[in-house]
Structure formats: structure tokens, C-alpha cells
Structure 1
Amino acid sequence: MSAFGDAQGAQSVELTLTEAASLLSGADMASTKALTEHGIPSVRMTDGSNGLAMNLPDFSGKVPATCFPTSSALAATWDPALVSRVAAAIAREAAAAGAQVLLSPGMNLKRSPLGGRNFEYYSEDPLLTAELAVGFVKGVQGEGVGACVKHYVANNQETDRMRVSADVSERALRELYLRAFEEVVSRAKPWLVMASYNKVNGTYVSEDERLLTGILRDEWGFDGVVVSDWGAVDDRVRALRAGLDLEMPSTSGASDAQVIAAVEDGTLDAAFVHRSARRVAELARRAADSRRPTGDPPAPVESAADLAITAAERSVVLLRNEHGVLPLAPRAGVAVIGAYASAPRFQGGGSAGVQPKQPAGSIVDAVGARHAGTVEYAPGYAADGLTRDPALLDQAISVAATADVAIVVVGSPESAESEGYDRADLDLPEAQNEIVAAVAAVARSTVVVIVSGGPVRTEAWRTSVDAIVSTGLAGQGVSLGLASILVGDADPGGRLAETWPCELADTPSFLSFPGEGGHSVYGEGIFVGYRGHDRINGAVAFPFGHGLSFAETRFEDLAVVESASGWSVDVTVVNDSERAAREVVQLYVEAPELAARRAPRALVGFAAVAVAPGQKTQARIRVPRRALKRWDEAAAGWTLDSGIHTFVAARSSRDAVLRHEIDVVGDDIRMPLTAASTLVEWLGHPSVGPALIAAVTEADPTGRTTGMLTNPMAVLMIGGLPIGRLAVDAANALTLDLLDRVLDSHMG
């Protein structure tokens, strides 16, 4: 029997094994089971990364909701506070529709730009991902709705996603793929964590006790519910033992019966059942408590529709702006070209898709309403974004030739980006590349607007057009948000949250993504995204963090103050122009590379600031000591290397502005020595090494053993041998007993 507090927390109840087991799987596609006689209500869950994505009861569609920018677009704002506001708005709509849990945010890193679900994820960088996801979780749970962070962990592709094994080193797993989850679990306390479909190093995540219990709960202190991705459980008993509490969706009682049978035949301790049932019951109590009226009048909230426009505007990234073609001159004659200008894409496909309350509207109409000059439109290519139409092409060329500025709207087609499959390439449809080239050949000035969930290949025309703008998949506010940037009513404050490569073959994961034979080998290790591009100093179209402003800003006075917990870094941002600016100060660290390979620079903090015309403001960034640590594979722990580290205030991973060196006193990490440690590792230890030489000198008066251990050429040849292999050779004085005595006397 198990004891539970009821939903009101007023009394304790006892559950039988059958009742406890019943709580461990869903009631249907979206809800947990209720035990009303014990005061345990059902909990309803819904998708919602860029807006409420709740299915109608008959699955004929979805509940109408505000469609915000996708996570990939929101990430370009580098603004956790804005992400939190958006998340709160989504949570309010979820609660109004009857949901208590939002199955968001998605936090998987963009290992490859081909990831089909990348539009649901934030970044290729774990720190940026963590900060934005913390904002999202706090925004959701501040409204009394639970957040479920996903997909834990290394769910970085759609190809074979239900069973593929992500074969990844412990260092890459810790520094990149687990890092953001750790931050969110520690700082934002999400109610749930979703275990992903895939395996990690051969074991399904849903059955991996080390990941679900050892790391998530024991190391990080997670106290909520671990829920499976829908249909991810391969062996329910093994998963329960590993720490997976709730299986979704309903199995119509089949998995509950498996659990009970395993207890009855002695292969599963009933304690596992009751442990997970307590967690699910606590989730139900938490959900019920959070919806109780407090008696306080509701605080005023901003319009969701207006917030969607603001978020879309902030998501816009100005990638190129030669000759100051943007913002548009007030009376310039403008040609807007491209079928996507009439009906822009604004979200990706799959379970996160939203039925928008308001349509995105036409970019043509949005620009026309704000621009004082003439605005003409020509579709240029077919509405599907794929089909070439010679008549439409000729019309577009004619319209572009007579305009002062031609704005060509292009983007990846709807079929290119969705849950369930990865992108085949980064190429735009040829019909769209053709229209860009044709317009650029005749127009006085050409602006290309890219509507996509991730990077696209721009090499066919990148240097032959005047300006390039990326909107991302920016939700129902995309047209109005973009128009405000194009006409100069707002400064383009967006910055890339992922590298845009010149060619797909340049990406660090190119040779191993998405893998084969059920395995995806993460051969690039820690060198994901900009870390890999910058390590080889390869050409990129646009680097991580890149984005231009209409204003003229500069950074000055980088100041660093150290404390016991880390460093406080201040950077002054000066606006030398007559336009208001929104700037993102990015702080990277250049770490010494004595003990392990490192990226040239790694992001350790950032701050987005608004700066009035002719004014200056200070950006303060706090860097905890942990941000400078790396995972040491041999020591199986985090370590901070001693030596000179350099803080770099930058506009992108490749655009350093200010530098400040700090002398770090790191961790004195000492590897435990065993018979499996190499001769070099023994000799290199500051106290054990000399003690070993002294011991063998005493044990072998001939000096032969000492000579072997001190001769540079001998050490060069045999130094990599585990010392235990030398200790079985009777020709020298090394013995396992001697090694044990040395260790006992010098390492306690």
C-alpha cells in the first residue's frame, strides 16, 4: 500500500498496487488517469511551443490560438524576458482551454542544420538554449501551468528517431546536450521532464537509469515527473525501474498489467511502482492547487495578438545591408516580389502546429500600409514555392526594373521543415534562386527576405544583393513585424542563434548525420555549430550571433570584477547615431588548451540592451565559475583549468570587440591512480611519481628498474602502458604489492 495526500493536501490515503499502477500510464492521448475516490484528479497535457496546439476532441483540427514565433525565431531575440512573456501568454490560453501542463519547451541542440524539428528548438549553443528555456519555463509556471521540458536527451534528428542510438562521448554529452537541461532543472524547476524516443550509447533513454535517476534526480535534484515521449517506451518494467514515471499515451491497461505481473512474479520491487505513483499523484495535486482562485483581482495582461507582433518584430535579423538600402527611403518606389510575400509561412509542421486565431496576412499589404512610397507586387513563382512559371518570372523582372528597391521574399517550402523527417538539404527551390538572380540583375537595389525555420544556402546570390533579412518562422505577426523593420519604425535587434554555413559540407556533423545502421555517431564531439566552424576557421555565410543594426553603436570599457562565485562583467554600449538601437552584447571566453581541446571561443553570457539616440548604457553579465569549466573524461567530473582565460565582448562568435584577460586559479584535479593507469600518469603525479622512483631504487640496488623508469627513450616507448603490465615482469622490481604500498603512503 502507498500513502498519498489528496488533491487538497488535507488527508492521507492508501493506494493498492493495482491503483498505484493505474496512475503510471495515460487515460487517453493527452490525459493522466484520475482516482477520484482518492482525490487524485486527471491532468490534461497539450503541445504548445509557439502557441496552444491542443487537438479538438474528435481530432478534426486544433483549438484556435495565438500563433507566436517558433522557438528558433524567438531565439534570435536573445531575450529571455520576452520569451517568458510569450510563454505566459501561451500558458493562459492553455489554462483557458482546460490544460494543466504544456509540453514545452523543446531544448535539443541543433547538432545539424538539417534537423527537421530544428524550428522547435532554440540554438546550437547550450548556454543560449538554457537562458531562453529558463525564461519559458518560468513564464509558463508563473501562470499556474506546468512546463514539461523535452526531449531529454540527444534527440537531435528525426531520421529513425524512434530507435536510433546517439553515440556520443561523455564530454560532449555533459558540456552540450545535457547542459541546458541541467540549468533549467536547477533554476526553473519544471514540473515534468520528457524522456526522448532515442537511445544514448545503445540504451533507450526511457530505460536508462543513469540518465533518468543518477543524473536527473540524484545529481540535479529533479523532483517532478518523468514522462515518456508518446510511444517511446520499449519495455515498461525496465523503464519504471530506471525512473520513468508516466507512460504516454494510454495503453488501454496493457502496460499497467505488465507492471503488476512483474511485481507478483518477483522481478520488480513494488517500491518502484509506489514511488512513481506518488510522483504522478503529486503532479495532480500540484495542478489542482495551481488553478484555485486566490481571491486577488487578476493582473492586467498584454494583448496576445499585440505580443505576437512584437515577438515577430524582435525575431527579425538583418544579415546584410550594403549601401544602407534599409530602412526604405520614405518615398522610394518598392516592388515586393514572391508568392511567399502574399501568403508567408509562419510556423513548422507536426504536433506543435497552431491553428492561428488571426491569419499572418500579406507582407505586401503590411509594407504598403506603412510605406509612404508606391508598393507594387508580382508573385514571381508559383504559390507552392517550388514551381517555376516563365510568365510570372517575366512579370517580376518588369516590376523590379522600374522600382527603386525590389524586395524578394523567398523561403523553404512548407514540406521542408516538419516533425517526422529531416531536411534533405539547405537549398532554396531553384525557382526562388532564379527569381533572386533575375531581379538582382535589373533592380537598382535588391533586398532578399528569407522566411525559414533554419539556415538556407545563399551562395548563389549572397554577395550580389544589397540586403538580406531573416524573419524565421515568426508566427501570425510576421508580416506586421517585418514591415516595421523594413520601413525603419523599429531597429532590427535579432541576432542569429545558429551558424549559417556556406555549404552543407562545411558543417561539423556533415559526415555522420544522420547516421546509419541504427547509430548516429557524434564524431564532431564538442565541436557543434560555431565551435566546430570556428575551430577550423572555415568560411561561413553568417556566423553565430551575427546581426546588423540601423543605428551606429560601439562597445567600450569592458570591466571585470571577480568574486567567490565567479565574475561580473560590465560593457558600456554607446549609440552614436540618431536612431534608437537594440544591441546584444555577447560575452565569450577563450580558454587555455593545455589539458583538453577547446573551441576558440565559447559563449558564457549575454545581455540585450536598448540604447537611446546619442546615449550610452551599461550591460552587466554575470559569469559563474561553472561556465568556464569543462568535463574531464578521465576524472569523470567538472574541472576548471588554471591559467589565463580571456573574456571577449563581441557582436558574434567571430566579431570580437573588447578583450580582458583573467588569471584563473582552477581546480587541483588529481586522477586516481590504479594498476590500469599508465606509467606516464604515475610518473607525472607530483608526490606519487618521486615516491615510486624511490621505492624501486630501494627494491632494485642494481639500478636497472630505476633506469627503465627514468630513461627518456624508454619512457617514450613504454610510457603509455598500464603500469600493472610492467609489474608482472620478474625482470624488474615493480610489483603490484610495491605499487599498493606507494599509493597507500602517498594518496591515503
Structure 2
Amino acid sequence: MSGVVDTTHRAAIESALATLDLETKVRLLTGQDYWRLPAVPEIGLANLTMSDGPIGVRGVRWSPDHPSIALPSPTALAATWDPALSLLAGRVLGQECRARGIHILLAPTVNLHRSPLAGRHFECYSEDPLLTAEIGLGYVAGLQQQGVGAQVKHYVANDSETERFTVDVRVSERALRELYLVPFERIVAAGVWSLMAAYNGVNGAPMTEQDDLVNGLLKGEWGFDGAVVSDWTAARTTVPTANGGLDVVMPAFAAPWGDKLLAAVRAGDVAEELIDDKVRRILLLAGRVGAWDRVAPAVPDSEVTTGLDLDGAAREIATRSFVLARNADVLPLDAGALRRVAVFGALADDARIQGGGSARVLPRHIISPLAGLTAALPDTEVVYAVGADPRPELAAATGLEWTPVTTTLRDAAGTALYESSIDAADVRWMGELPDGVDPAAAATVEISATFTPSVTGTHQLAANGFGDLVFQVGGETLLDEPVYWTGDDPLTTAFLTPVERRFPIEAVAGKPVEVVLTHRIYPGRHGFVTLTLGHGRPVADDETLLAEAARVAAEADVAVVVVGTTEEVESEGFDRTTLALPGRQDELVARVAAANPRTVVVVNAGSPVLMPWVDDVAAVLLTWFPGQEAGAALADVLLGVAEPGGRLPTTWPRAMADLPVLSTTPTDGTLTYAEDVLIGYRGWTAEPLFPFGHGLGYTTWSWDSLTVEDGSAVVTVRNTGARAGREVVQVYVGPTTAGGPVRPARWLAGFAGVTAEPGEAVTVRIPLPERTFQVWADGGWQTVPGGYRVEAAASVTDPKLTATVDL
């Protein structure tokens, strides 16, 4: 992952720059549309095209006939504690980008898990800056090895969603340097090609106007030569953003540059030399990714990897990310001894594979936990009972009752401009219409289907969307009106939290009903569409469902309960208000566990949840948002085909009151990081439910030796179990000498994953760089003299071996 630019490239930049007039240079700095920068054909510059990540590549247009891979969530990727798997994820997404003509992927997100209430927690890696940096480095390297630019984000202290456009984060320089800036610093040093400036402010100035942190630190001290791009609509001023280090404003609409920036340059408020520097960075980025024909791209086509097994990668990452948090000798299950397996929970059938937000993708397919277990156990009876449904809104209509489901774009006369079959009645996009569709002609988008119910009774149908909606069932119009939800965040309003209108209908089994949901497109507003046709079958009341679950559980050899969060709870655009599972899922677990002592709980959430039942169940498996291969990976782990390889990238609490940092709510527009450097495990005083770094496997290990030599911790571990396995050797360092600056009891200094056959010993050398023993003080890095404890550990609270060093 190199940021090196040869003299030929530099010379080409200067030659091209000399031919551009001021108007063209300024035009280059603002999005042409939602995802592209303008082309300048006279110098051979093509459009620079960007797309959201981080788990897939949505692309610039809505295209249901070209779905994207859906990898596990970033928290899952971090839970692998394996930079090589992160590299694989980056390479997979790089291959996807190249297939879609994407030059820059807006990922990874390397903000920290300051509070588990943060709504976008699932899109970040860890509460620890070192682990975040290592996983982020692998991801960026994988992308850029494919010739696709990564755009690391959101710089900086963008760690929560409440008042996210305007909040001013007050944080000490020490906390910034030792925690929040570390992943950015490491990834910039490794040669990332672009960076995104966050919505929020830091210490009194918006990040899009941050002279100190952008011009001074990022471009000056760190020597970043890439382009700094605004988060979408984050730039709201002209002169302050131009002088504050921003290079590109995105997207086109509501952009404060263009003619205003041109006027500011002519008035002398912004130096033309500054405009030239921004253009140089864009040309450098375009050259690296192959969008400028005057220079060779950073990665020749001959070095790009193609033919990667996308589904296989998604399955491997998911399997390796699952954290076995508790196991009372019930896992792995013996498939040959299973007569009946009972599966419970709405999320077992309707898998939550990704978090809510602007980065949502349409996957190639989804394997639910129920489908995965059923396929993996052909000789076992797999029974299902919902038990409890936490979803406040109806799921998108899908399955054999809804065949086919079609989406159609029409003009004002009703003529079809585009038509495609979709698996589920859910249409969302930000960007452009499909190829060949004239945006000026598009008047409506509709979802239509023939509903043939399998059971007679009262079914619930729902129109879910934003804008002017028309909902027709069996030829009768049930809804024809604008549907809006007001709020301060237009993206959240329009895209992340559409409004549901629900209608009960009486349906007869086998009798088809035509259903059409239509969204009228306002002129010029085709770039934002969210439309879902929801369906809920006739169901019993909650008490009946819970009682049925207990009965089914009692008759099974093992009970698997899938619980988790919903898109209305855990999503971009808002923070969580509680860590409790939504709905009556806790009660479902309790009733199933009381009926069957062999109860395995699968937690399908991107961030920590409370588990009041944890001591009453046989096993707890944390699967995060596991991506499209969710059910296949789950079956692999539960049945012992693969070992759960994950370790916790963040601490899970027993109670919310135990958390060192909880609130994400600003006061008078300001959010103060009063905890300073004591976030995550660094600030814990209570005993957590599951500590940072925790995770069980299917074998056992002895920790044989630890020495500190030549600036490294040298650790030997041995597999003492009966099957091959993987352990993550974690090394923590903490002071033994009293006094000095406030520091945590210990902090992660390094780690290494090891695999071994039964009886095999493995030795790893984990570097302890100078920064391990330093703090930021008096404007620089200072080594704190004294004694230090070096621990080889299975988690932050489970040291196995200890050595000491003196500085």
C-alpha cells in the first residue's frame, strides 16, 4: 500500500495544471452529481467515481439485477483479530469496485467505540485504537492492492450520531493523539489515497474547516498527499472550508463552492495557490486509480486479482468473527446425535445481516440461520417457532406467497422505462437511476406482486416509504397521500427512517390478490427513493407465541434462540437509548431456557446488548451482523465444522450503569469527552460481563513461556486439546511505578493469531514499539520512565504470563 508518486506523475500534474483556467480548476473541486467528480476531457481526466462501503459496493445507481456482496459488519471483521482476513475483505471489495467502475470506496470507518449507545457502532471496529488501526490497515491495503482508493473516515471524533451535523466535540489533545487519531495516523503513514472529513466539530471548529487538524496535522506533520473529501453535505461555508484544508465538496446539491468559491478567489479571500494544491491532489488521486490517462495507475491491470470467491470469503469472515462468549459443554453439537433441533426468534427466519444506514446494500442472496441449520442437518428434524418478534415494522414481502415481485419505473403516461424482478419487496437507492433511464422522464417507481396467501385470516400489509405514496390492494386504493416524517436530519428522514402505514386485510388461502405500491417521483428528486411493501402473516398474541416456544423447546434435543437488534434500534442517523434487546426477546430466552437446559443463544447485533438471562443458558454465541452467508456460517460453527474464531473487539457490560462512558447526548450543542483517555476497557472499574479480547474455542491451550527481548514480547503457547484450533495471543502493558500521568491499568500493545494441531507448540514475536511506553505531553510524545508489567493474555482480564521491564 504505497503512497509514493514518481517524478513522471508529478511532472504530468504540473503540466496539466498549467493548462487549466481558474473556472475549470474550481469546477473540479465539487461533485458533478451525487457520486462523481467532473471529467476534464481536454487533459484526459475521466470522472472520479465514489461509492459507499464498508460491507459491499452499492455503486452509483440502483440496479437490482446487479446485487452486491454483503460481507459481515466492521465489528465482525475486527472480532477476527486478523489483519489478513481484513486484507481479504478489502481485496474482495476492490474486485467488486472494479467490476462496477468505482474508483474510490468510502471506507473504512476507524472511529472508536467510545459508547455502545452510538448508533453507528457496528460500522466501526473497536474501542481500542491499536486493534482498529491493524484491521483498518489490512482493509485499506486490500482495496488499494486492487487499484481502488480507500477513503478512511470520519476524521475525527465522529463517535456518535446525536446532533451529528452540528455537535462540537470537546476533547483533550492528549486523548486525540493517544486514541482517536491513532488509526488515522497509522493508515495515512501506510499510504491511504483519500480521507473523509466528518460532520462534527472538534474543539470549536467544524472538521470541514479545521485548519489545525487538517492543514497543520494531517497535511503538514503527517505529510498526507491524498485528497480530503467532505462527508456528504458536511461543507456549509465557502471561505472557511476552502482555507481549512478541504479539497473536495460532495455532493453536487447544496454545495457551497462553485461560483461562490470562484468569487472568493477573485476577491482574494482564498489564494489561487490553495486551489492549485487541491487540484494537484485530485489529479494525483485520479492517476493512482486509473482515471487519468496521462499517467500509469498505481496498480497495473496485470497485478489486479480477479476471480476471488466472494461467497466463500463472506462465509469465512463470518465464521472467524463469531465469538463464543459462554459454553457449558454444549457446543459443538454432534449432528449425528441430534433427533430434533428447535429454532426460535423472528431474526432466525428474517436474518439481520447488516446495520441500518446509507451504506445498506442489496446482497446476492441471504442465508438465514433457520435455512442454514436446516440445510446442514438433512437427517434431523428442524422445527421453528417465532416466539417473539422485536420488529416494530413489517418485513418486506418475500417468499412463495409473493411470486413474482417486480419493480417498475414508469413515465408520466404509465409507460415502463425499466422493470426488474426482486427477491424482496424493498427498493432503496441514493444516486442514479438504472442505465438507459432518463431521469427527466421518470415519474413513478412501483413495487407490484401477486399475493397468494398460504393461510386464511387477517394478514397485515404495509406501505413503507417517504414521499407521495399510492397503495392498491385487489384494485382498491388504501392509501393515496404524502407520507413524511419530520426531523432535523434530512438523510435520516428520507432514507433511514421511512414511515410505515399498515393495513389489515382478510385473505383466503390460495386466492390471489394483486398488490401495487407506487412512489411518485418529484422532478429532480429521483436520487432518493425508499419504498417497501411489508407483509405480516396472521399470528397469535404474544402470550400464545411464548407458550408455544416453551412447548417446542421442551421437546427438542437442543434449542437455538436467535435474538438481536432491529434497524429501528441500531442504525446510522440516531443513537440508541438503551442496550436492552427490543420487544420480548429476553422473555423468550428465559422461557426457552427454563424448558430446555441445552439452550444456545445466538446474538445477532452489531454492538453490545444486555443479557439478563446469561447465567441460565448453556451457550452464548455473538454473531454481529454476519452478512449474506449468516446461516451457513452459523451452521458451520454450531456443528463444529469450524471453530468460532472471534475475540471481542469491545467490552460487553452486565449492566448499563457499569459503563465508563455512556451518554452520547450533547449539552447546548457540545459533547465533552470528560473521560479523556479512559474509554472502553481502559476506563472499566466494574467487572464486565465479557471483557475486551474474550472468546472461547473448541480446544484448550497451555501458555508455556513469555520473555521480553530486543523490543518484543516472545510468547509460546501449546494446543493441549483434541482438535486443531486458533488462539489470539494478546500482549498488554501497564505501569508498575506509581505517579506520573493518569494512565489505565493496562493497554493493548500487540497481538498475534496462532493456529496449531493437537500437541503442537507455536512461538510468536510481538513487537513493543517505543510508542507503547509513551504519552502525549507538552506538544510531543514523551516516554514515561519506570517499571512496566508485560502480560501475555487471553483477554484484558485474563493474563496468563507476566514479565517486567524497566525504562
1:55–1:285 CA distance, 2 compared to 1 (3 A): closer
1:330-479 paired onto structure 2 within 5 Å: 330-332=336-338, 333-366=340-373, 368-370=375-377, 373-382=380-389, 384=391, 389-458=542-611, 460-479=612-631
Q: TM-score, normalised by structure 2?
A: 0.77
Tell me which amino acid in the other structure corresponds to 1:657: K
Tell me which amino acid in the other structure corresponds to 2:75: S
Q: Is residue 69 of structure 2 the alignment partner of residue 69 of structure 1?
A: no
Q: What is the aligned-residue identity percentage?
A: 42
Contact map agreement 1:589 1:604 (CA 8 A) in 2? yes
* Unpaired segments ≥5 residues, structure 1: 665-748
Inter-partner Cα distance in structure 2 for 1:492 and 1:127: 23
Determine helix, strand or coil for the equivalent of 1:49. coil
1:298–1:216 CA distance, 2 compared to 1 (3 A): closer
Shift of 1:430: 3.8
1:351–1:478 CA distance, 2 compared to 1 (3 A): same
Determine helix, strand or coil for the equivalent of 1:129. helix
1:383–1:263 CA distance, 2 compared to 1 (3 A): closer
Determine helix, strand or coil for the equivalent of 2:794. strand
Inter-partner Cα distance in structure 1 for 2:715 and 2:598: 36
1:367–1:637 CA distance, 2 compared to 1 (3 A): farther
Inter-partner Cα distance in structure 2 for 1:280 and 1:202: 28
Match of 1:31 in 2: 36
Match of 2:723 in 1: 579
Match of 2:172 in 1: 169
Inter-partner Cα distance in structure 1 for 2:596 and 2:633: 25
Contact map agreement 1:380 1:393 (CA 8 A) in 2? yes
Q: Higher mean Cα deviation, 233-242 or 220-229?
A: 233-242
Inter-partner Cα distance in structure 2 for 1:406 and 1:290: 58
Match of 1:79 in 2: 82
Contact map agreement 2:231 2:250 (CA 8 A) in 1? yes
Match of 1:216 in 2: 218
Larger Rg: 1
Match of 1:714 in 2: none
Shift of 1:293: 9.0
1:589–1:492 CA distance, 2 compared to 1 (3 A): same
Inter-partner Cα distance in structure 2 for 1:609 and 1:644: 29
Please list the CA deviations of residues 418-471 of structure 1 after superposition, one character each: whole Å capped at 9, or x if unmatched. 11111111011241111111111111311111000100001x201111110000
Q: TM-score, normalised by structure 1?
A: 0.83
Contact map agreement 1:145 1:290 (CA 8 A) in 2? no
Tell me which amino acid in the other structure corresponds to 1:393: L
Q: Higher mean Cα deviation, 598-607 or 399-408?
A: 399-408
1:23-172 paired onto structure 2 within 5 Å: 23-56=28-61, 59=62, 63-172=66-175
Match of 2:644 in 1: 492
Inter-partner Cα distance in structure 2 for 1:162 and 1:31: 23
Inter-partner Cα distance in structure 2 for 1:64 and 1:593: 57
Tell me which amino acid in the other structure corresponds to 1:121: C
Q: Is residue 747 of structure 2 the alignment partner of residue 602 of structure 1?
A: yes
* Unpaired segments ≥5 residues, structure 2: 1-6, 394-538
Aligned length: 648
Match of 1:555 in 2: 703
Contact map agreement 1:53 1:351 (CA 8 A) in 2? no
Q: Higher mean Cα deviation, 234-243 or 67-76?
A: 234-243
Please list the CA deviations of residues 481-524 of structure 1 after superposition, one character each: whole Å capped at 9, or x if unmatched. 111110111111100000001122221222x4222211111111
Contact map agreement 2:95 2:306 (CA 8 A) in 1? no
Shift of 1:373: 4.3
Tell me which amino acid in the other structure corresponds to 1:26: G
Inter-partner Cα distance in structure 1 for 2:764 and 2:141: 23
Shift of 1:628: 2.1
1:253–1:52 CA distance, 2 compared to 1 (3 A): closer
Contact map agreement 1:22 1:253 (CA 8 A) in 2? no
Contact map agreement 2:235 2:249 (CA 8 A) in 1? yes
Shift of 1:376: 2.2
1:683-722 paired onto structure 2 within 5 Å: none
Shift of 1:544: 0.6
Match of 1:731 in 2: none
Tell me which amino acid in the other structure corresponds to 1:336: V
Inter-partner Cα distance in structure 1 for 2:318 and 2:277: 44
Match of 1:273 in 2: 275
Q: Is residue 406 of structure 2 the alignment partner of residue 255 of structure 1?
A: no
Shift of 1:325: 4.4
1:613–1:290 CA distance, 2 compared to 1 (3 A): farther
Inter-partner Cα distance in structure 1 for 2:65 and 2:194: 23
1:175-214 paired onto structure 2 within 5 Å: 175-187=178-190, 189-214=191-216
Contact map agreement 1:107 1:180 (CA 8 A) in 2? yes
Determine helix, strand or coil for the equivalent of 1:542. coil
Q: Higher mean Cα deviation, 18-27 or 262-271?
A: 262-271
Contact map agreement 1:370 1:487 (CA 8 A) in 2? no
Contact map agreement 2:87 2:142 (CA 8 A) in 1? yes
Shift of 1:613: 1.6
Match of 1:649 in 2: 792
1:274–1:521 CA distance, 2 compared to 1 (3 A): same
Inter-partner Cα distance in structure 1 for 2:366 and 2:664: 36
Contact map agreement 1:194 1:228 (CA 8 A) in 2? yes
1:396–1:312 CA distance, 2 compared to 1 (3 A): same
Contact map agreement 1:573 1:611 (CA 8 A) in 2? no
Q: Higher mean Cα deviation, 372-381 or 263-272?
A: 372-381
1:112–1:296 CA distance, 2 compared to 1 (3 A): closer
Contact map agreement 1:319 1:548 (CA 8 A) in 2? yes
- The CA RMSD over aligned residues, in Å, is 2.3
Match of 1:622 among 749, 753, 767: 767
Inter-partner Cα distance in structure 1 for 2:376 and 2:296: 44
More strand per residue: 2
Please list the CA deviations of residues 262-295 of structure 1 after superposition, one character each: whole Å capped at 9, or x if unmatched. 1222222221111111211222222225669957
Inter-partner Cα distance in structure 2 for 1:221 and 1:100: 23
Shift of 1:49: 0.5
Shift of 1:404: 2.2
Please list the CA deviations of residues 354-410 of structure 1 after superposition, one character each: whole Å capped at 9, or x if unmatched. 110122334354355247544322221237379962222222111111222211111
Tell me which amino acid in the other structure corresponds to 2:655: E
Determine helix, strand or coil for the equivalent of 2:689. strand
Structure with more contact order per residue of length (Cα contacts < 8 Å, sep ≥ 6): 2
1:149–1:285 CA distance, 2 compared to 1 (3 A): same
Q: Is residue 672 of structure 2 the alignment partner of residue 517 of structure 1?
A: no
Tell me which amino acid in the other structure corresponds to 1:28: D
Contact map agreement 1:104 1:149 (CA 8 A) in 2? yes
Inter-partner Cα distance in structure 2 for 1:105 and 1:134: 9
1:6–1:208 CA distance, 2 compared to 1 (3 A): closer
1:631–1:254 CA distance, 2 compared to 1 (3 A): closer
Contact map agreement 2:125 2:649 (CA 8 A) in 1? yes
Tell me which amino acid in the other structure corresponds to 1:17: L
